[in-house]
Structure 1
Amino acid sequence: MLILGSGPAGLTAAIYAARAGMAPIVVQGIQPGGQLTTTTDVENYPGFRDVIQGPWLMEEMQAQAEHVGAQMMWDTIVEVDLSRRPFRLIGDGGTVYSCDVLVIATGAQAKWLGLESEQRLRGQGVSACATCDGFFYRGKKVAVIGGGNTAVEEALYLTNHSHDVTLIHRRDSLRAEKILQKRLFAHPQIKVLWNKEVAEFVHGDGNRGLVALDLKDTRSGAVERIDVDGGFVAIGHHPATELFQGHVDLDEDGYIKVTPGTTNTSVPGVFACGDVMDKIYRQAVTAAGTGCMAALDAERFLAEADYEALAAE
């Protein structure tokens, strides 16, 4: 088994595959450990009563995978041939990989605004996941940037923790579904600022992190400052699937299509797990769950292939 990606999905697949004797090799990709390596406090991963650190959690997952027999490769795949088994993949240094089954766990990245101050304050008041980090802003003032379904859902979710939620959108109407807009506009804890875009995430004194947003009016160009404790960028995610275009079926947003209830892709012997196929939940624990599913699906696939080969003799 070859596994592309070393986040919770890929490493969980590796753990299950190694224990099943499938000799998994994990190609770690450009961000070993996945998105959790850029996350500080993790409080919603089961099994830890105290807050843990994202990088530490991924180090432990990798160590567990290696302990049961998975092999880690520091490489990035740049070319794939999934037209026949064994599948053939090539790393950016020219290394050729061959595998009987392939698990794609390359993940998805949150889209960011691209501001230097945004990058500097990520994890210090700036986030791209309300479900992950909203708990840390109980009773505090927060803002959500965006106008699609993701932004509206994040704003509604944050009302579970904050009494003061502001949605900031650069246009004068939302792209979100009408039912979501109706819920948003009816919620007493949410207000909307139209025709505004973030010009700067403002850092506080010392170690205070984010304290305010400088907002630019998209019509007049005027800039105003609003005080916030947390800023959530919700302008969508980008799945890492460019490499697989034309090889496996993707949906309209670029996520890998799988058979419902499984991790099976359109190519027999190729499986997808984690955020690369999940645009709804996008949590470490759900990614790990689908990683388990991918390994079990792959084990079943190989068992059936072996049976068919024996029957044909």
Structure 2
Amino acid sequence: MAGSDELYDLVIIGGGPGGLSAAIYAMRAALKTALVEKGVTGGQVTMSDEVENYPGFVHISGAELSMKFTQHAQSYDLDMISQEVTALDPGLDHHTVRLANGDTLKTHAVILATGGSPRKLDVIGERELYGKGVSYCATCDGFFFRGKTVVVIGGGDSAAEEALYLAKLCKKVYIAHRRDELRASKILQQRIFNDCNIEMLWNTVVTEIKAGADGVEQVGLKDTVTADTRELDVDGVFIFIGFNPNNELVPAGTRMNADGMVVTDEKCETRTPGIYVIGDLREKFARQIVLSAADGCTAALAAAHYVEAKTSMLADTCELPPDAAS
């Protein structure tokens, strides 16, 4: 139990698709494993009305997919702890995971699967219409807007890339940017300006997202120069103004990129032996459910090798005869 002298082989922090996938592979590798999640397991996918790009499921709700992940992990009698983790203290003999209730978990290996979240506009209608026309991932949800009109909010590379992706599917794509020039790379800007399906809304911010009978119906716009306001009819709103990784528990000295995402090797391992980072907290090309699950598999298998090597070394040391050191 937490707070005892019990030593885990692996502690997984975070119960999204990556953490649950890691738990499944860890339990199958016979690792003594605990998964710590402060909220509901499943991660951000639980808030998605529809998921159509996870292999094996032509159509499934985010809540149902999350439930299946959780049930699969629980089928192995996984030790699941509903608590917030306040600190991760690396050590030479073992790592220590500290919980909000004062308990501690000692473990050979740790997988950080705390993810992150898209930055929000914090405007009226954004939260209420999430999954009903408001999205933070064109690759995930663009298919649902085939032949429809959408607005992309942002001016960086992510906004430009997602707008170009949506332009292949949608009847019309607007890009609303608060300035009079994009921050995206020049080559992306050139593609944006050459795409006749994309229209720029310069010096423009979205002030409100309005609902209709079937979800998003309209957005309120404001000119940042003149302060003039107007409405724009759209079927979807795609927001790309940045991403906040949940990196508060990442140990000091861990290599991170400029955006605060952890840089790992191909095994998802950090510079600290036995500490792995997966999912949206890890630097990678794309953020998708299937990639988080794949990270969980990779890290769990790597952790199994690490724990086996470490415990074998400790066992060999303990079995040395008294005069072996002489």
TM-score (ref. length: structure 1): 0.95
Tell me by how many angstroms 1:89 deviates.
Answer: 1.4
- 2:126 alignment partner, SS class: helix
CA RMSD of aligned residues (A): 1.4
Question: What is the count of residue pairs matched by the alignment?
Answer: 309
Kindly report which structure 2 residues correspond to 1:140-219, keeping only aligned pairs within 5 A, or say none. Answer: 140-204=148-212, 207-219=213-225
Letter in 2 for 1:3: I
Structure 1 residues 311 and 23 mapped into 2: Cα distance closer, same or farther (>3 Å)? closer
Deviates more, 1:84-93 or 1:267-276: 84-93
Kindly report which structure 2 residues correspond to 1:43-82, keeping only aligned pairs within 5 A, or say none. Answer: 43-49=52-58, 51-82=59-90
Kindly report which structure 2 residues correspond to 1:34-45, keeping only aligned pairs within 5 A, or say none. Answer: 34-45=43-54
- 1:117 alignment partner, SS class: coil
One of 104, 107, 112 as aligned partner of 2:112: 104
Identity among equivalent positions (%) equals 39
1:274 alignment partner in structure 2 = 279
Structure 1: unaligned runs, 5 residues or longer:
none
Deviates more, 1:118-127 or 1:132-141: 118-127
1:231-252 Cα offsets, whole Å, 9 max, x none, are 0011111110022251522221
Kindly report which structure 2 residues correspond to 1:7-22, keeping only aligned pairs within 5 A, or say none. Answer: 7-22=16-31
1:98-119 Cα offsets, whole Å, 9 max, x none, are 1110000101101110113111
2:235 alignment partner in structure 1 = 229
Letter in 1 for 2:240: A
Kindly report which structure 2 residues correspond to 1:228-247, keeping only aligned pairs within 5 A, or say none. Answer: 228-244=234-250, 246=252
Give me the whole-angstrom Cα distance separating, in 2, the residues matched to 1:275 and 1:73.
22
Give me the whole-angstrom Cα distance separating, in 1, the residues matched to 2:40 and 2:202.
36
- 1:122 alignment partner, SS class: coil
Q: Any conservation in 2 of the 1:41–1:53 contact (CA below 8 Å)? A: yes
Structure number, greater radius of gyration? 2
Deviates more, 1:11-20 or 1:25-34: 25-34
2:302 alignment partner in structure 1 = 297
Give me the whole-angstrom Cα distance separating, in 1, the residues matched to 2:207 and 2:28.
51
Letter in 2 for 1:10: G
1:113-135 Cα offsets, whole Å, 9 max, x none, are 01131111111111111111100
TM-score (ref. length: structure 2): 0.91
Tell me by how many angstroms 1:163 deviates.
Answer: 2.6
Structure 2: unaligned runs, 5 residues or longer:
1-9, 321-326
Deviates more, 1:211-220 or 1:65-74: 65-74
